[in-house]
Structure 1
Amino acid sequence: MTTAPAPTGFQTGFTVRPDLVVEAAHADDVRTAVAHAAARGLRVHVHATGHGLPGAVEGGVLISTRRMDSVVIDPVRRTARIGAGTTWARVIEAAAPHGLAPLNGSSPSVGAVSYTLGGGLGVLAREFGYAADQVRALDVVTADGVPRHVSPDSEPELFWALRGGGHRLAVVTGMEIGLVGAERLYGGSVAFDGEAAGTGAAEVAGRYLEWAGTLPDTVTSSLAALQYPDLPQLPEPLRGRYVVSVRVAYTGSAAEGERLVAPLRAIGPALADSLREMPYTDSHTIHGDPPFPHAYYGDGVVLGGLDGGGAARVLELTGPKAPMTTVVQINHLGGALAAPPAVDNAVPYREAGFLVRLLSPLDGTDVASVRALYAEVAEGLAPAVLGRSLNFSFGGGDRTEGFHDARTRRRLAGLVSRHDPASLFGGSYGVSPGGR
């Protein structure tokens, strides 16, 4: 175990000033750091890559797990054993020679463990479900400083809670996950001019929602909208335009993929079309998430359903006339995401039909203004809102309402009361430790 300056991470919009930073190399370092914090009444924060930083970190002990980045693939059992700081890129690379893949998200530089604890909505989500559903076992350190192997047999309540409940019950030092057979896929995106006749944002969104309703569960898709700045380093077709894109991932044949996406291409002239067959190791190119650190705020609204009118209202509020740049992504849910997992977990809102994700760069924009815009978006969707997405709340760590349904939240809060009564890891899911 070593102490170090506060680590720089992907999220640069919030200050990170702990009292002590611990660079953990293995599980015993984590145990020592947790015991140190507990003895002094200090909060514990955990940092892997910094993508999902919930907000400013002031004081306490920050455990950096980025050195704990091991990956061990078992091709016979189709599993991966991953360390607490491992990125999805490392897991994808290690699994690919065996024709296997994890249920990773769109960005390969995201920490695999943190992503999975929040549920994990991935590239192939409608076909294979949430990443949390694939967890076989976890190694953790609880607030009492005790290392625990958490599985359905050894610690069934913690096993339920950690898969979808987030970070508030323990520090995870390692995780075993199942892999799926996905050596290649058909996917990419089709981008339209969101202000042109025939391909305007509202029209594309309406056509997308109609198309999504016809898809088999083997197709995972989303719609994204973004006003690109007029900068010379951007591709000319996108520069200065309001672009609406549909992203697709499908593990079936390329020929069938071409047939399935024909209605998208029929919407109108495309600014760009990258739909193609690709190795799974190129799956990150479907969304093209920015690879560089930057400052941002984000939130996600989980919906029972969404129609063209609702989508058009979201795009109107967040489009070129919005008070700040906002990236909108509408994820089509359902399919395997709606199925109960083999072993029950804390992932909520499986009945949801869509997720509306909002993300705003904090380049001269204040958080209060961003929140006001997001509240207006949520208000317009209110009749269909089930809650918020734990995975896609960036910078809003002081707001925990809506991450879980009431029953799940009470159960999680009861476990906090039992395992972390002093709130060493950050409190009790928006209700009192007793679950009231």
Structure 2
Amino acid sequence: MTELATRAATTSDVELADLRRAVTGPVWDPGDVEVVAEIAGFNLAPVHEPVGVVGATDAHDVAASVRWARARGLGVAVVATGHADFSHRGTLIVSTKRLDRCEVDPATRTATVGAGVKWARLVEAAAPHGLAGVTGSSTDVGVVGFCTGGGIGPMIRRFGLGSDRVRAMQVVTGEGEVREVRAGDELFDAMLGGKDAAGIVVEMTVELVELSTFYGGAIFFDGADAPAVLHAWRDWQAGLTENTTTSIAILRMPDMDGAPPPLRGRTVVHLRVAHLGPEIEGLEVLSPMRRVATPIVDTVDVLPAAAVDAVHCDPTDPMPSWITGGFLDGMTHATIDALLEVAGPQHELPVIVVELRQTGGAALRGRQGVAARAPFSVGVVAPMVPELAGIVPAVGHGIVDALAAWSAGTVPANYASPQTLAARPGACWSDADRERLAAVVARTDPDAVLGGRRLGLR
């Protein structure tokens, strides 16, 4: 246990009266009934045991909270949409849900959002102007958390990482200082891919793209067709232009309400595609994959840009979950064989999703931030219910390790589980970027108040 964690764990008698006087938003003791709802999010697996919770209403509240915690030798953790795997114990939790500004400027094709805004709200606000955000696979996640983690989305090969579209941020440092940062500022780069290690984002301005419709969606094949479909996908994706981004996953669908009836209780292969071009072109592009096997469900069509969730079909109901993954330098038929050997439909595994994504194209040309980049990624999502908690990390890491021969050596920051970072501190960055980020963190958060320790940078 670190010195900071040791000191924080003994602060059950911390007096919150000073903090209440310093902020405008609500402040709760750990035992207050409102705390559960305030810090609850999509991922129900983390167990939080804070010394207090602040419902921040502006940058002043965030900065005052950081200064209060720093003066008492406490760490500060941030929660918004609650998709992360991390539990926060012995820290002050700052909830940014109330930071809900969402303004679209069609003249400059930008949007400014608070740290509590989800992509769904921004997508809806941008659509009437023929604009779209560079979102992730689900618009249920927060804009800020997505971009500070790099941001891998279903159109990444054309539009790059979400972090590449950030134009400005309002950030609170570990010293409780509010800073406005733009490209050219070392803190700006540290925040894009550095999560909350160097600061807490209060607001973010992102560039939007001109997009009204796209040709895309999902095709589901029976699990028995996995070898044929995955090997065909490997060859097919290699010939695509950057106008098409695709990924593929082996899904073990639960036999429960909420799962689509044709897929319920089955192991299936999920082909995801987003093509930026006319329908007739998209039909031709996708036709080779439609011929590989008989689909169970085929939802690919011309869709409004706001319907981007139809590509990955991620769940929206809260659940206990766990994720890990890694970037890959290449994708061969041997890669597919290795994945099928450990995660194919012949196995009964405590995982929901095992996926391969194209993550190259425009993303490899990005210049902003410290987010790792590579042409492909592997990801594993599993249910983190108590009866599986002891085995899920081992199974998930085993699947990723089976592809070690193609590993780029880094993990997408938004895929980094606590167990992953415990085994490989700083795994989200290359050696050079990790050294550069750590230097910025040492300057902006000298007392290690923020997330640098959790991410393996301190």
Instruction: Sort the TM-score into its range (normalised by shorter chain).
Output: over 0.9
- Counterpart amino acid of 1:229? P
> In structure 1, what is the equivalent of residue 73 of structure 2?
41
Q: Give 1:115's match in structure 2, choosing from 118, 125, 146.
A: 146
Once residues 246 and 135 of structure 1 are traced to their aligned partners in structure 2, the CA distance between those partners, rounded to angstroms, is: 29
> In structure 2, what is the equivalent of residue 83 of structure 1?
114
Aligned pairs for 1:60-99 (under 5 A) are 60-99=91-130
Does 2:269 correspond to 1:238? no
Does 2:354 correspond to 1:328? yes
Equivalent residues of 1:410, 1:431 under 8 A apart: no
Structure 1: 5+ residue runs without aligned partners? none
* Partner SS for 1:165: coil
Give the deviation of 1:323 after TM superposition. Answer: 3.7
> In structure 2, what is the equivalent of residue 264 of structure 1?
289
- Counterpart amino acid of 1:407? A
Equivalent residues of 2:111, 2:208 under 8 A apart: yes
Once residues 122 and 223 of structure 1 are traced to their aligned partners in structure 2, the CA distance between those partners, rounded to angstroms, is: 13
> In structure 2, what is the equivalent of residue 227 of structure 1?
252
Does 2:309 correspond to 1:284? yes
Which is richer in helix?
2
* Partner SS for 1:413: helix
Q: Give 1:175's match in structure 2, choosing from 200, 204, 207.
A: 204
- Counterpart amino acid of 1:125? I
Equivalent residues of 2:426, 2:457 under 8 A apart: no
> In structure 1, what is the equivalent of residue 60 of structure 2?
28
Distance 1:397 1:334, change over 3 A: closer
Moved more, 388-397 or 285-294: 388-397
Give the deviation of 1:192 after TM superposition. Answer: 0.5
Identity %: 35
Moved more, 370-379 or 82-91: 370-379
Distance 1:432 1:89, change over 3 A: closer
Give the deviation of 1:225 after TM superposition. Answer: 1.0
Equivalent residues of 2:97, 2:115 under 8 A apart: yes
Q: Give 2:392's match in structure 1, choosing from 363, 367, 370.
A: 370
Q: Give 1:339's match in structure 2, choosing from 358, 365, 369.
A: 365
> In structure 2, what is the equivalent of residue 391 of structure 1?
414
> In structure 1, what is the equivalent of residue 13 of structure 2?
none
Once residues 156 and 68 of structure 2 are traced to their aligned partners in structure 1, the CA distance between those partners, rounded to angstroms, is: 39
Does 2:234 correspond to 1:205? no
Give the deviation of 1:329 after TM superposition. Answer: 1.4
Give the deviation of 1:234 after TM superposition. Answer: 3.2
Once residues 400 and 269 of structure 2 are traced to their aligned partners in structure 1, the CA distance between those partners, rounded to angstroms, is: 20
* Partner SS for 1:271: strand
Once residues 142 and 294 of structure 2 are traced to their aligned partners in structure 1, the CA distance between those partners, rounded to angstroms, is: 37
Equivalent residues of 1:296, 1:394 under 8 A apart: no
Give the deviation of 1:334 after TM superposition. Answer: 1.7
> What CA deviation, in whole Å up to 9, does each residue of 1:18-42 have, x standing for no partner?
1110001111111111111111111
> In structure 1, what is the equivalent of residue 14 of structure 2?
none
> In structure 2, what is the equivalent of residue 15 of structure 1?
47
Once residues 168 and 374 of structure 1 are traced to their aligned partners in structure 2, the CA distance between those partners, rounded to angstroms, is: 25
Once residues 397 and 94 of structure 2 are traced to their aligned partners in structure 1, the CA distance between those partners, rounded to angstroms, is: 33
> In structure 2, what is the equivalent of residue 164 of structure 1?
193
> What CA deviation, in whole Å up to 9, does each residue of 1:360-413 have, x standing for no partner?
012344334122223322332112111211112245475334210101001111
> What CA deviation, in whole Å up to 9, does each residue of 1:262-317 have, x standing for no partner?
01101111100001001111111221111110001111111001222322332332
* Partner SS for 1:310: helix
Distance 1:244 1:431, change over 3 A: closer
> In structure 2, what is the equivalent of residue 300 of structure 1?
325
* Partner SS for 2:259: coil
Give the deviation of 1:428 after TM superposition. Answer: 5.1
Give the deviation of 1:421 after TM superposition. Answer: 1.9
Equivalent residues of 1:127, 1:218 under 8 A apart: yes
Does 2:161 correspond to 1:130? yes
Give the deviation of 1:238 after TM superposition. Answer: 1.0
TM-score, reference length from structure 2:
0.88
Once residues 115 and 385 of structure 2 are traced to their aligned partners in structure 1, the CA distance between those partners, rounded to angstroms, is: 31
* Partner SS for 1:374: helix
Distance 1:143 1:409, change over 3 A: same
Once residues 266 and 157 of structure 1 are traced to their aligned partners in structure 2, the CA distance between those partners, rounded to angstroms, is: 50
Give the deviation of 1:223 after TM superposition. Answer: 0.2
Give the deviation of 1:222 after TM superposition. Answer: 0.5
- Counterpart amino acid of 1:390? A
Once residues 278 and 247 of structure 2 are traced to their aligned partners in structure 1, the CA distance between those partners, rounded to angstroms, is: 20
* Partner SS for 1:260: helix
- Aligned pair count reads 422
Distance 1:345 1:427, change over 3 A: closer
CA RMSD of aligned residues (A): 1.7
- Counterpart amino acid of 1:378? V
TM-score, reference length from structure 1:
0.93
Give the deviation of 1:157 after TM superposition. Answer: 0.6
Equivalent residues of 2:219, 2:270 under 8 A apart: yes
Equivalent residues of 2:371, 2:428 under 8 A apart: no
Give the deviation of 1:230 after TM superposition. Answer: 3.2
Q: Give 1:381's match in structure 2, choosing from 393, 398, 403.
A: 403
- Counterpart amino acid of 2:370? A
Give the deviation of 1:319 after TM superposition. Answer: 3.8
Once residues 318 and 270 of structure 1 are traced to their aligned partners in structure 2, the CA distance between those partners, rounded to angstroms, is: 21
Give the deviation of 1:253 after TM superposition. Answer: 0.6
Give the deviation of 1:165 after TM superposition. Answer: 1.6
